[in-house]
Structure 1
Amino acid sequence: MRARLELFASIRRDARIEGLSIRGLAKRYQVGRDTVRQALSDPVPPARKTPVRSSPRLDPFKPAIDAMLVEDTTAPRKQRHTARRILARLIEEHDALELSYSTVRDYVRVRRAQIDVEAGRRVEVFVPQEHAPGAEAEVDFGEVWIVLDGVKTKCHMFIFRLSHSGKAIHRVYPTQAQEAFLEGHIEAFNEIGGVPVKHIRYDNLTSAVRTVVFGQGRNRVENDRWVLFRSFYGFDSFYCQPGIAGAHEKGGVEGEVGWFRRNRLTPMPVAKSLEELNDRIRYREAEDDQRRFDGRIRTIGHDFAAERPFLAPLPAEEFDPGLVLNPRVDRSSMITVRMVKYSVPARFIGRRVRVSLRASELVVFDGRAVAARHQRIVAKGGQSVQLDHYLEVLKTKPGALPGSTALARARASGSFTSAHEAFWAASRRVNGDAEGTRELIDVLLLHRSMDAADIQAGITAALRVGAVSADVVAVEARRHATTSAAEGGPRSDRHRGAHAQAKVQRVVSLTQRRLMDPAAVIAGLPSDSRPLPSVRAYDELLAKRAEHPAKTASKENIS
């Protein structure tokens, strides 16, 4: 078609500029005179006629094929004729051995659609829609695979998409349970700074819908917690038709799931945690604000900036998306939630505690205060144990620490560092196993009120001066925090009154230093060759007391 357009343009130009005749133009361009006349009369070339191909072999069997297709209009969807089945029946019933599959297939493709229309069957037609700013949004889940901490793991991506601007929020969770469903909404509302004023479109997710009421339009029996959540944020829900028939009713988010997975999560992302992955996704979402789609002139970010003022404001308080449970703490100071065990402080043994099970974490409350916090474990039979929850018990039973599960998990997570190991070994060498372990536990208790970096610096300083005492570690840790603040470190707002005392003589325990490994010698401190203190000289008093028992007794009687 393009070549004929250029040919017609050239003919018309030469006729206009050079004044060539029809015969001269036909000779120049090697075309017929009728073609030249067409070009001079109309700049648009006539459409080429597609010859109607006859199929003499198929014509005798068309009535039989049409009968089968008419029969399909009332047959169950999964028991309708395919082109291959029609060909098989023609061969069996009409001895049509000369027919090919491609001939039957091409005829069935066209004729089936015509018969459906003639039979009055509904033909699906998609009508373009306009969405008012801030009025509607769509929500869906999609599966994604990631390499999580070295393990290939299937996760679920929550997607919230504003219908007007196309602004989308994506968050990856370990499950698509109701906790993740609600937490994804809260993240999206906080990110866009408001709530759609009309409704949000959904599939019939079990996180929101308990029962689909067939025969009553779009009526659904919703979960009580979901109804409470909608009431809290003040929006309505719109449920699409079940199955594939309703997929087009929220086509924007359906397409967003595939686009984001192909363009932002391919190849499989590698992350240490879901928090790290979601932080990267937030960065990607900011980049997507510069994207255009559907042939729009403006970017997503530009349309969202215009849409944002039309959103309803957020409530003053934030909804707790966690599932509230009340498990009992067993004798191992553990609770069981969804077939997974989590440790809590030992003081709760035998009591019931309030637990908020969220999409990515589990929070244990003591009244309104947070007593414990764990990263959520999805695998059934798993355990999450924190060493801090057992320190009071280990203080009275120090022999249980070396083989404890809590210590093994602390070492695996890196919270029990090589500095702790060195302090423990030095403390046991000086104070014995039991007392040395108690000193270590006192050091671990410092983590509840001090930063880990300060405590590690305190341990290093204490070992350098030959002191294996938790008190020395605490003093050195506070000195390190004060020095960091004085030098404009990250804690510059702490210990303001102690900045002038940053340079203070370090605490040195000579006795412990003498008992430790000789290699641990302070630089610049002279060697101590004095003998250890002894009370042998005072034993002579005991001998004199034994030589005069009568005098001693008489003095006691007189007194």
Structure 2
Amino acid sequence: MTPFYCTPGVDGAHEKGGVEHEGGRFRRTHLVPPPQVATIAELNEQLARIDELEDTRHVHGRPTSIGFDFEAERELLNPLPADPYDCGLDLTPTVHRNGRITVRQSYYSVPARFIGGTVRVSLRANELLVFDGRQVVARHPRLTRRYVYHDVLDHYLEVLLVKPGAFAGAAALAQARAEGTFTSAHEAFWAAAREAHGEREGTRALIEVLLLHRQLPADAVVAGLQAVLRARSCSADLVAIEARKAQEAPEELEAAVLDKDPVQAEAFARLGVTAAERGNVISLHGRRPLPADTRPLPSLSKYDRLLKRRPTQEGTA
């Protein structure tokens, strides 16, 4: 049997009538009125749920469902190509002074080191990728409205480290809070660091913690923040140590440490911290007050002799 698909060009234009009819039926059934969504990702999730419902539909005159028929034909289909096909549109916008590029009248942030240069962009249906050579340096959901922007806080950290006073009012920080990437653990660490070291140095300590996200998973960094906060500390170096422990240490290791340290186990029970909230991290010991020193103060009377000038033999003569 010879496989037959369709006739290309004008001669085969009439052959796609069934496809047009099915597309119209799907639109009238599921997309009228148009769905109200905030992002393309949310629209895709809604369409995926509709597709699952369509698998249970029966075409008139057929005893089996669409999903059942497709599973029977799946084994007869050719495999997908090994190399994926890039369906994006390649563009080369210039990076503005504010660290953003303009694509289709929407604005996207890129790492600050590219300010003043040009970058290669792949504009796709759902997302936008920014390349430095073959390396992806920025990834954004595609914006569908004009004059709106999407910023990534990580792109501005080098600049904010030099000017920490601009951190609190940064648009990228507001977007990170809205998207949930700047968590309550980051907020608590920032507040503790500012109280201990002042506004400027406390913000710098937080930015150093945010830079850890480039090397460690986000869950590990958050676990490190929680461990340091439980120890009533605000050191970025300790966050890095605890985050690496959270990434590498198994769960059994933490359980063993808690068994050997009943003080920590009691503290976790008192605070209501569960094992899942602790994560795979060995927590730092809390600060304990030092015992009172009852020893008498040392006497400095012996050093008073050094203050008196002793005459030499020449001076006496």
TM-score normalised by length of structure 2:
0.73
**Cα distance change on mapping 1:302 and 1:458 into 2, 3 Å:** closer
1:385·1:406 contact (CA, 8 Å) conserved in 2? yes
2:231·2:287 contact (CA, 8 Å) conserved in 1? no
**Cα distance change on mapping 1:479 and 1:266 into 2, 3 Å:** farther
Instruction: State whether structure 2 residue 4 is matched by structure 1 residue 239.
Output: no
Instruction: State whether structure 2 residue 142 is matched by structure 1 residue 368.
Output: no
1:289·1:301 contact (CA, 8 Å) conserved in 2? yes
Identify unmatched segments of 5+ residues in structure 1.
1-131, 137-197, 201-216, 220-237, 241-248, 488-498, 507-521, 532-536, 549-559
C-alpha distance in structure 2 between counterparts of 1:502 and 1:350, whole Å: 53
Aligned-pair distance for 1:370? 0.5
**Cα distance change on mapping 1:297 and 1:500 into 2, 3 Å:** closer
Residue aligning to 1:125? none
Please list the CA deviations of residues 76-117 of structure 1 after superposition, one character each: whole Å capped at 9, or x if unmatched: xxxxxxxxxxxxxxxxxxxxxxxxxxxxxxxxxxxxxxxxxx
2:152·2:176 contact (CA, 8 Å) conserved in 1? yes
C-alpha distance in structure 1 between counterparts of 2:126 and 2:49, whole Å: 20
2:126·2:142 contact (CA, 8 Å) conserved in 1? yes
C-alpha distance in structure 1 between counterparts of 2:194 and 2:37, whole Å: 39
Instruction: State whether structure 2 residue 101 is matched by structure 1 residue 331.
Output: no
Task: Answer with 353-362 or 276-285: which moved more.
Answer: 276-285
Instruction: State whether structure 2 residue 145 is matched by structure 1 residue 353.
Output: no
Aligned-pair distance for 1:264? 4.4
Aligned-pair distance for 1:392? 1.0
Give 3-state SS (helix, strand or coil) of 2:10's partner: coil
Count of aligned residue pairs for this structure pair:
278
Residue aligning to 2:289? 527
Residue aligning to 1:486? 251
Q: Map of 1:302-317 to 2, 5 A cutoff?
A: 302-305=68-71, 307-308=73-74, 311-317=77-83
Please list the CA deviations of residues 300-356 of structure 1 after superposition, one character each: whole Å capped at 9, or x if unmatched: 345435545665554331111110001111211111111111110011111111100
Residue aligning to 1:319? 85
Task: Answer with 298-307 or 369-378: which moved more.
Answer: 298-307
**Cα distance change on mapping 1:530 and 1:450 into 2, 3 Å:** farther
Aligned-pair distance for 1:367? 0.9
Please list the CA deviations of residues 499-526 of structure 1 after superposition, one character each: whole Å capped at 9, or x if unmatched: 59973999xxxxxxxxxxxxxxx99854
Identify unmatched segments of 5+ residues in structure 2.
262-283, 294-298, 310-317
Aligned-pair distance for 1:365? 0.5
Q: If each structure's strand is expressed as a fraction of its own residues, which one has the higher value? A: 1
1:341·1:382 contact (CA, 8 Å) conserved in 2? yes
Instruction: State whether structure 2 residue 153 is matched by structure 1 residue 387.
Output: yes
Residue aligning to 1:432? 198
Please list the CA deviations of residues 232-279 of structure 1 after superposition, one character each: whole Å capped at 9, or x if unmatched: xxxxxx435xxxxxxxx5342333234334554577656664334434
Aligned-pair distance for 1:290? 4.0
Residue aligning to 2:314? none
1:134·1:308 contact (CA, 8 Å) conserved in 2? no
C-alpha distance in structure 2 between counterparts of 1:500 and 1:465, whole Å: 16
Aligned-pair distance for 1:419? 1.6
Aligned-pair distance for 1:426? 1.2
TM-align CA RMSD: 3.7
Q: Identify which of 157, 166, 172 aligns with 1:400.
A: 166
Residue aligning to 2:232? 466
Give 3-state SS (helix, strand or coil) of 1:239's partner: helix
C-alpha distance in structure 2 between counterparts of 1:439 and 1:333, whole Å: 23
Residue aligning to 1:218? 10
Please list the CA deviations of residues 205-232 of structure 1 after superposition, one character each: whole Å capped at 9, or x if unmatched: xxxxxxxxxxxx928xxxxxxxxxxxxx
Q: Identify which of 248, 255, 263 aligns with 2:21.
A: 255
Q: Identify which of 144, 163, 173 aligns with 1:378.
A: 144
Instruction: Give the structure with higher Rg (CA).
Output: 1
TM-score normalised by length of structure 1:
0.44
C-alpha distance in structure 2 between counterparts of 1:328 and 1:285, whole Å: 40
**Cα distance change on mapping 1:268 and 1:218 into 2, 3 Å:** closer
Instruction: State whether structure 2 residue 229 is matched by structure 1 residue 475.
Output: no
Aligned-pair identity (%): 49
